[in-house]
Amino acid sequence: MTGRQALATRIGPVGVWLAALAEVPATTATAAAQEIERLGYGALWIGESPFHKEIFTNAGLLLANTERLVVATGIASIWGRDAVATNGAARNLGEAYPGRFMLGLGTSHAEIGRGQGHDRPLTALREYLDVLDTAPYHGPVLETAVPRVLAALRPRMQELARDRADGVHTFFVPPSHTAQVRERIGPAAFLAPEQAVVVDPDPEVARDIARAHIATRLRLRNYVGHLKALGYPDADLEGSGSDRLVDDLVAWGDPDAVAARVRAHLDSGADHVAVHPLTADQPGPAALLAQLRALAPVLVTTAAGA
């Protein structure tokens, strides 16, 4: 079994991307993680910003309160801590929860205002990996290294992930991008795209929810540049996005329609798809979990046939 196959087997074909768990009380977050595990999703991806819970302590909390679920950082910003601290945190979680922690790293967004190297993100991440790979560590030696993926939307960052990590984690992408990434990184690297979803068959309702998600991303220059590189013209990127853009980036409809989009990523070369439920602005993860409950049976069927 190759490294990619072993990682894909460990994490499973379908997981959940849930930023909301960085905002809610610990008891609410752990209850959500436990339900996600019971529903059969293979992994839980959590995000980080300067304004929410620190990502490694949050991952430790979720790991401590689940039994099988893989918890992945999607992503831990390199501006949040130096590489030595990241090395110690990742190894600590890898030792405490063997096979259940995945380290996702990235350069985040210049607009967040954290770090001084956003004008040279590729160089900054490469130098960070240089330290991460050589930092002394006097804790226990792990039998299996903590897997590492890099947030990589553009070709040069994808090549860095191919060469210096186990693979790529992408966000805000259609299946056509997944196919391009697979071709670029080759057959040996792991690939895990995020897929935003709205489980609602009403086009007006679903697109309104999707646009709220898309509008915030269209204020971030790296996402805009990424979409332009994919061939979307300015007209598609104005305001909160055209119907075409919304439909390409957010899978909406009944569970079967959402499952078809997940399958499209898997057919395009993804090893794992992190399903990212969206709802109208509601406090807490209850409405998000309701979508995950509705999706679980058909997504397990989709994954089984991948």
Structure token digits, residue 293: 């409950």
Residue 219 domain-assigned (yes or no): no
For residues 73 and 60, the answer to whether their CB atoms sit within 8 Å is no
pLDDT tens string 217-259: 999 999 999 999 999 999 999 999 999 999 999 999 999 999 9
Provide the mean pLDDT of the chain: 94
Average pLDDT value for residue range 198-222: 96
- The predicted structure's pLDDT at residue 301: 59
- The predicted structure's pLDDT at residue 58: 98
**112: confidence class by pLDDT, cuts 50, 70, 90:** low
Residue with tokens 């991806």: 45
Residue 213 domain-assigned (yes or no): no
Residue 239 domain-assigned (yes or no): no
Separation between Cα atoms, residue 247 and residue 211, nearest integer Å: 10
Closest by CA to 58, choosing from 104, 24, 87, is 24
Residue 234 domain-assigned (yes or no): no
Separation between Cα atoms, residue 306 and residue 300, nearest integer Å: 10
Average pLDDT value for residue range 8-32: 96
Region of 231 on the Ramachandran plot (φ > 0 left; ψ -120 to 50 alpha; else beta): left
- The predicted structure's pLDDT at residue 49: 85
Q: Rg for the chain (alpha carbons), in Å?
A: 18
Region of 249 on the Ramachandran plot (φ > 0 left; ψ -120 to 50 alpha; else beta): alpha
For residues 72 and 41, the answer to whether their CB atoms sit within 8 Å is no
Neighbours of 88 (CB within 10 A): 16
pLDDT at 114 over 70: no
Amino acid at 226: H
pLDDT at 302 over 60: no
Separation between Cα atoms, residue 45 and residue 170, nearest integer Å: 12
For residues 37 and 5, the answer to whether their CB atoms sit within 8 Å is no
Q: Mutual orientation of helices 155-164 and 121-134 as an angle, nearest 10°?
A: 10
pLDDT tens string 254-274: 999 999 999 999 999 999 999
- The predicted structure's pLDDT at residue 213: 95
Region of 172 on the Ramachandran plot (φ > 0 left; ψ -120 to 50 alpha; else beta): left
pLDDT at 11 over 50: yes
CATH code (residue 94)? 3.20.20.30
Three-state secondary-structure class, residue 170: strand
DSSP symbols for 235-295: HHHSTT--HHHHHHHEEEESHHHHHHHHHHHHHTT-S-EEEEE--SS-SSSHHHHHHHHHH
Residue 218 domain-assigned (yes or no): no
pLDDT at 282 over 60: yes
Beta bridge partners of 169: 151, 192
pLDDT at 115 over 80: no
Residue 180 domain-assigned (yes or no): yes
The set of residues, in sequence order, having a beta carbon less than 8 Å from that of 8 and lying 6+ positions away, is 190, 271, 272
Residue 115 domain-assigned (yes or no): yes
Average pLDDT value for residue range 135-146: 94
Please tell me the least confidently modeled range out of 61-75, 89-103, 273-287: 273-287
Average pLDDT value for residue range 8-19: 96
Residue 97 domain-assigned (yes or no): yes
**295: confidence class by pLDDT, cuts 50, 70, 90:** very high
**171: confidence class by pLDDT, cuts 50, 70, 90:** very high
CA 126 remoteness from chain centre: 20
For residues 90 and 103, the answer to whether their CB atoms sit within 8 Å is yes
Range of the domain at 96: 3-207+254-304
- The predicted structure's pLDDT at residue 109: 76
Tell me the CB-side half-sphere exposure of residue 232, using CA atoms within 13 A: 26
Structure token digits, residue 139: 């804790």
- The predicted structure's pLDDT at residue 304: 47
DSSP letter for 72, please.
E
Instruction: Give the count of domains, the chain.
Output: 1
pTM: 0.96
